[in-house]
Chains A and B, each alone.
Chain A
Amino acid sequence: MNHKTIQKNLILYVDRNLSTSDSIKMQEHFSKCQSCMKDVEKLSTIWLNENALKRFTPSPSLWQKLELRLNDVRKQPSIFINKLITAVRLTAIIVILFIAVLIGRYLGTTSMNDTYDAVEKAEQEYILKTYHLDSFELISQESLGKIFTLTLNESESEIRK
């Protein structure tokens, strides 16, 4: 055992937690090393001091204080009721959130439809005014595609010719 390990094991030596062989090694070191000897002497007087291990005396009014607090606790609702209250609160929050999402979705879809309708109407009015038309029919996107492929085919056949 070197000086460092001896210094680390001083309390263990004082408390007799070391094996007999280790204790003998420690004692051999103490006979050679004065500082370790002093340290172990000081530590044993402090560590084994019975006054330090004295138990604290509780204040006489501790029971009265506890009784007051217990009365307060008894007035409070029981654990089951507390759990029930928290469960009700949680479900209320979830329901409110669900309703909020539903309202949001409803408002979102209706307002989007309204805006689409308004844009469509404005476009129609613009076309009627600019081309001096009484009325016209909108071509669906499918028929637009068909017209486009037809014109493409025609132009291809013309190029071949």
Chain B
Amino acid sequence: MQEQELHQKIKANDPSAFRELFEIYHPMVLNLCRRMLDDKEEGEDATQEIFINIHKSLNNFRFESKLSTWIYRIAVNHCLNKQLRKKYQKWLSLDFISDSELVRNTSCPEQPDTILEKKEFETIIQANINSLPKQQRIALILNRYEGLPYQEIAKIMQCSISSVESCLYRAKQNLCKRLKPYLKHL
């Protein structure tokens, strides 16, 4: 109902429509950005950029899909681009050397006696999800943290439902492999 009203307001070029759209969808966009970029400031920055993009292309939206699906697609693509840019910048500034050391340290805890807390383990899960291959990462974040059904994930990722299922299956298997060394420390 809320989405239909918003549709009509956007179609009628109502100036208050964008504010309303922001109020409804910014928590979900922010949540996705925080999960995908793993940083508070970067997440908020990306949220603003995504809404600027939405503002620019709102007139081009043809109402062929759900507004939330369209927004999710923009957000996912924006976060992926941001991650890619970050990766290139790290390579250019030779930061990847220190980064690889960091990954090594987190991926294999050296002290066997250390006991991880649940909170720490969740950050480890988050870091490991972000190190998964692109498609698996998106599917898992949208499913686990956004609670979206396979059908909607398929629309956002522009693929079939069965490929979303296989992506999630492989993502969970990969994650299990990566989390195995940490389970001893819990």
Contacts and interface: CB of A to CB of B under 8 A. Distances in A.
Interface of A: 7-12, 15, 17, 38-39, 42-43, 45-47, 49, 51-53, 55-59, 62-63, 65-66, 69-70, 73, 79
Interface residues of B, number: 33
A52 B27 contact: no
A49 B26 CA distance: 24
Nearest to B122: A52
Contact of B56 (A15, A42, A58, A79): A79
B79 to A, nearest CB: 14
A73 B51 CA distance: 12
A56 B31 contact: yes
B173 interface: yes
Contacts, number: 82
Nearest to B124: A46
B173 A12 contact: yes
Nearest to A57: B27
Contact of B26 (A12, A39, A53, A58): A58
12 contacts: A9-B176, A12-B169, A42-B183, A47-B125, A51-B118, A52-B122, A55-B27, A57-B27, A58-B26, A63-B22, A73-B52, A73-B56
Q: Which DSSP category, helix, strand, loop or mixed, fits chain A's interface? A: helix
Contacts of A65: 44, 48
Contacts of A11: 172-173, 175-176
B141 to A, nearest CB: 11
Interface string B22-43: 1000110011001000001001
Given A9-B173, A49-B118, A52-B122, A62 B26 contact: yes
A47 B176 CA distance: 11
B172 A46 contact: no
Contacts of B177: 7-8
Nearest to A39: B183
B186 interface: yes
A17 B169 contact: yes
A151 B176 CA distance: 96
A15 B26 contact: no
Interface in B161-186: 168-169, 172-173, 175-177, 179-180, 183, 186
Nearest to A63: B22
